[in-house]
Amino acid sequence: MSNKNFLCPFFALILFFFMYSGAQATLIDFDALAPGTPVTTIEGVTFSSNTGLDLIVSNIFDAASGDNYLGVDDDWDEVFLPFFGDVITLDFAEAITSLTVSFVSTPFPPTGSYSISTLLGNAVSQAIPDFILDDDGEVFTVMFESATPFMMAELSGGIDGVHSFNIDDIQFTPTAVPEPTTLALLGIGILILLIFRGNPRDNAKI
């Protein structure tokens, strides 16, 4: 087997691995949907809650970005209420390793009110909001990352206080394929195999 015959597919294989080895983050900001639209599944994420009410796209108050966010169809102000124990559940079609959520809150919620909870652990909001909106709403960004992939997360506003909240800007990263370095080593192994299999007479002399 000539060098030309096995080097071409080898380098093509390595190029393919480097091009497709990175996982891309997905952002859900609800701005592509009209206010009042029911929210069930978006970008492979299934939304549900324990409120007994439909989840909808809302725009009554300011959003963390754009105009829209996730609300609840309560025929009133479409907010989630922590003192009722409202929880939003996200079920992902494929495993992820990182989840970031913007909680849009009424002013002065108790410290650590907002959380992302998974079977692997949880993350809570800081005492100070990331920024304050024109209508005095406060945005708390919470991130949960794990080396072990997960497929479900619960979003909560806590159980204390009289604050309310909505959800905006959900960003998540699917499980990445093996790193380029690992794939390159695999390619080298394939190359060596091709060399030895390509010239059986030489192999017999070893």
pLDDT tens, residue by residue, 51-78: 999 999 999 999 999 999 999 999 999 9
Q: Would you state the pLDDT for residue 43?
A: 98
| 205: pLDDT strictly greater than 70 | no
Mean predicted lDDT score pLDDT of the chain? 85
| 179: pLDDT strictly greater than 60 | no
CA distances from 10 to 15, 27, 181, 187, 195 (A): 9, 35, 15, 7, 11
CATH of 26-174, one of 3.40.640.10, 2.60.120.1360, 1.10.420.10, 2.130.10.10: 2.60.120.1360
Provide φ and ψ at 130, rounded to 5°: -70, -35
| 37: pLDDT strictly greater than 50 | yes
Q: Would you state the pLDDT for residue 188?
A: 52
Q: Where are the domains of the chain?
A: 3-20+180-205, 26-174
Cβ–Cβ < 8 Å for 174, 95: yes
| 103: pLDDT strictly greater than 60 | yes
